Structure 1
């Protein structure tokens, strides 16, 4: 019996060590699971943010082409308002589900910035649907749209923890070197 009592401290040490190892492994697994889960959600949010931006940009491109046909812009592939109707309808139909996903997964700041951007894009759409011929008003809408897009992308980058990105202001080839692209 005395041999057992002599080895009892060592046995207690082994039990405590095994229990400590178990706790360390469980805690490490929990931390890794949370980190992986956060990474998956960030990937999903990035996909939703990108899909939404792409859907809004489709409307911008169509309106830019129609504005060129109306004499308000300089897009190389003008489009008549009649030709644009099905394209605008398709762009709007694609934007709705992308917007719902954005509302569901996006941060409140990103959702607010997306709303400001899309309201301007809807004004651009109304402008060309009405057949307005006013180059200065169109230029103001384009500037407002660019500012909305920039604010949206800045909010997305902040939400995803990315460093500030490019402002998307680059010279148009053959045009004014200060003039930004769409």
Structure 2
């Protein structure tokens, strides 16, 4: 009996060492799995943000060209609101709307709210460009300014959700550029 009692501390040490080794291994593997998942989802989220941002900009550019034809703003290539052009605008808008679904699944609440505000600002531009709202150059300039602010807010939240360093407050670059005669402050 004394032999077993002499070996008991060694047996306890082996058991405790084995348990500690298992716990450390499990925690290490769990941490590795979490990091891999974060990288995977961050990649998906980055792609969703990028695609959505591009679609938003494409919508704004199309609406600006349509608005230029209505005299709400200036653009070097205004678009006449023919049935084909309006259909193309609807296709672009549909793509933008579809991309919101991925963001709804992947992003956080603050960025989702910024997406909602940006969507509303794009719809405002669309309604003005299509003539669904009565507009003038001043109302277009205001709506376009709101769109640019909403887009900047979206990108700020997107960067934060991806843990990308904050760029701070960027001064708005003057538009139109100094080499272009000023016609309308919403030209972009």
Fold in common (TM above 0.5): yes
- TM-score (norm: length of structure 1): 0.82
Say whether 1:169 aligns with 2:172: yes
Unpaired runs of at least 5, structure 2: none
In structure 2, what is the equivalent of residue 119 of structure 1?
120
Distance 1:87 1:9 in 2: 79
Quick one: distance in 2 between partners of 1:34 and 1:147?
35
Do the aligned partners of 1:124 and 1:141 also contact (CA within 8 Å) in 2? yes
When residues 168 and 59 of structure 1 are mapped into structure 2, their CA distance, relative to the original with a 3 A threshold, is farther
Structure 2 residue aligned with 1:24: 24
Structure 1 range deviating more: 37-46 or 116-125: 37-46
Do the aligned residues in 2 keep the contact of 1:67 with 1:128 (CA within 8 Å)? yes
Name which of structure 1's ranges 147-156 and 39-48 shifts more when overlaid on structure 2.
Answer: 39-48
Q: 1:154 and 1:180 mapped to 2: Cα distance? A: 22
| Number of residue-to-residue matches in the alignment | 181
Structure 1: segments with no counterpart, 5+ residues: none
Write the distance in 1 (CA, Å) between the matches of 2:51 and 2:109.
17
**For each residue in 1:100-120, what CA deviation from the matched residue of structure 2 results, as whole angstroms up to 9, or x when unmatched?**
222222212212111111112
Residue 17 of structure 1 and its aligned partner are, at CA, apart by 2.4
Normalising by the residue count of structure 2, what TM-score does the alignment of the two structures yield?
0.80
Question: Equivalents in 1 of 2:120, 2:130: separation in Å?
Answer: 15
Task: Please tell me the root mean square deviation across aligned C-alpha atoms, in Å.
Answer: 2.9
